[in-house]
């Protein structure tokens, strides 16, 4: 039965299969005929509306003469995932983009973030997150506000696990009080705690660094099982946007490295955050 609302990950699988078909120079109709199915089925698979088995993924890859075994195995893994994660608890409470982001982080081989407006989501304290959501959406009902805060706190599960997490934060983010002095101090203390965890790297860009013009560079870069399956998530006025085109991914990788190169090493960054905390 076709899915009513495929997840971003399910749609991504479909797009990757379409890219393989297009690279093979086949139309959807030609591909369907070679696989013994119909164009409607191919369209549903490529849009993520219909699921696809491991056998069919491998058959599709063979028909398209794809020899990248690592990519094929990664696509099989995506196709055969069963059941959702903790984020499914929020399916009726939050917009789909919240669930898609949590799913993206959960499956990522690594996550790299740039924070130039706010502390990045997984590093936020509950008070900090509540202040941000309240400021931007003051009309939110209390239950949805608490659902958003709870969801953001659950995202902390990505920290300190097998997948490395790196956040590059501008000094302006650390000095901006989204609420009051108490919340600001608590947030800085949280950054210090998280920076001591295995696999968590926090780097700071001071105001006085030369050559930094990336004030609008906020993004989340999630590594896939293979580089071709990397994804970038950016916040836009209309909601979260997920980017996976090869040229854009390359541009975002380059951007992250440029921003990272302007930051302090992890140890000096911790010292920097500690000094700011003492000022409060």
Please compute Rg for the chain using Cα positions.
21
**Alpha-carbon torsion 179, 102, 225, 252, what sign?**
negative
We report the CATH number of the domain holding residue 36 as: 1.10.260.40
55 burial level (CB within 10 Å; 0-12, 13-18, 19+): exposed
Q: Which residue has the higher pLDDT, 274 or 4?
A: 274
178 and 197 both lie in a single domain: yes
94 and 164 both lie in a single domain: yes
Is the pLDDT confidence value at 1 over 70? no
Q: Which of 26, 57, 79 is the C-terminal boundary of a domain?
A: 79
pLDDT at 215: 86
**How do residues 3-29 score in pLDDT, each as one tens digit?**
878 999 999 999 999 999 999 999 999
205 and 122 both lie in a single domain: yes
State mean pLDDT over 223-231: 96
94 and 208 both lie in a single domain: yes
**How do residues 75-125 score in pLDDT, each as one tens digit?**
999 999 877 799 999 999 999 999 999 999 999 999 999 999 999 999 999
**How do residues 167-221 score in pLDDT, each as one tens digit?**
999 999 999 999 999 999 999 999 999 999 999 999 999 999 998 998 888 999 9
pLDDT at 238: 53
Q: Is residue 2 in some structural domain?
A: no
Contacts of 217 (CB under 8 A, 6+ apart): 114, 116, 255, 259
| CA-based nearest residue to 14, from 25, 179, 2 | 2
Domain count, the chain: 2
72 and 202 both lie in a single domain: no
71 and 155 both lie in a single domain: no
Structure tokens at 137: 């959406």
Q: Is residue 156 in some structural domain?
A: yes
Q: Is residue 151 in some structural domain?
A: yes
38 and 96 both lie in a single domain: no
pLDDT at 239: 62
Q: Which of 29, 45, 79 is the C-terminal boundary of a domain?
A: 79
pLDDT at 227: 95
Q: Which domain holds residue 46?
A: 8-79
We report the CATH number of the domain holding residue 157 as: 3.30.870
- Dihedrals φ, ψ of 242, to 5°? -110, 125
149 and 42 both lie in a single domain: no
115 and 252 both lie in a single domain: yes
State mean pLDDT over 245-255: 96
pLDDT at 257: 96
55 and 101 both lie in a single domain: no
Query: Which residues are registered as beta bridge partners of 203?
Result: 168
Report in angstroms the alpha-carbon separations of 100 from 4, 10, 41, 103, 149.
Answer: 15, 10, 24, 5, 16
**How do residues 142-181 score in pLDDT, each as one tens digit?**
999 999 999 999 999 989 889 999 999 999 999 999 999 9
Q: Is residue 3 in some structural domain?
A: no
62 and 116 both lie in a single domain: no
Q: Which of 46, 79, 112 is the C-terminal boundary of a domain?
A: 79
């Amino acid at each position: 039965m076709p899915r009513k609302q495929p997840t971003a990950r399910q749609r991504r699988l479909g797009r990757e299969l379409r890219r393989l078909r297009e690279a093979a120079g086949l139309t959807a109709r030609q591909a369907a005929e070679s696989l013994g199915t119909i164009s409607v089925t191919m369209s549903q698979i490529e849009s993520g509306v219909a699921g696809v088995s491991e056998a069919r993924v491998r058959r599709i890859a063979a028909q398209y003469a794809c020899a990248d075994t690592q990519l094929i195995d990664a696509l099989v893994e995506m196709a055969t995932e069963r059941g959702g994660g903790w984020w499914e608890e929020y399916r009726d409470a939050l917009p789909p983009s919240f669930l898609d982001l949590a799913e993206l982080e959960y499956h990522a081989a690594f996550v790299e973030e740039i924070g130039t407006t706010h502390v990045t989501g997984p590093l936020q304290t509950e008070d900090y997150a509540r202040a941000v959501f309240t400021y931007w959406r003051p009309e939110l009902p209390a239950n949805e506000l608490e659902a958003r805060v709870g969801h953001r706190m659950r995202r902390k599960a990505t920290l300190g696990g097998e997948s490395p997490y790196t956040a590059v934060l501008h000094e302006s983010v650390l000095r901006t009080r989204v609420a009051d002095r108490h919340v600001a101090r608590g947030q800085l203390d949280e950054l210090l705690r998280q920076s001591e965890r295995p696999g968590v790297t926090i780097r700071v860009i001071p105001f006085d660094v030369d050559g930094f013009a990336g004030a609008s560079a906020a993004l989340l870069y999630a590594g896939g099982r293979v580089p071709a399956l990397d994804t970038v998530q950016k916040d836009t006025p209309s909601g979260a946007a997920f980017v996976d085109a090869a040229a854009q991914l390359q541009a975002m990788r380059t951007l992250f490295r440029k921003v990272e190169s302007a930051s302090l090493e992890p140890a000096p960054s911790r010292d920097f955050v500690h000094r700011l905390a003492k000022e409060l």
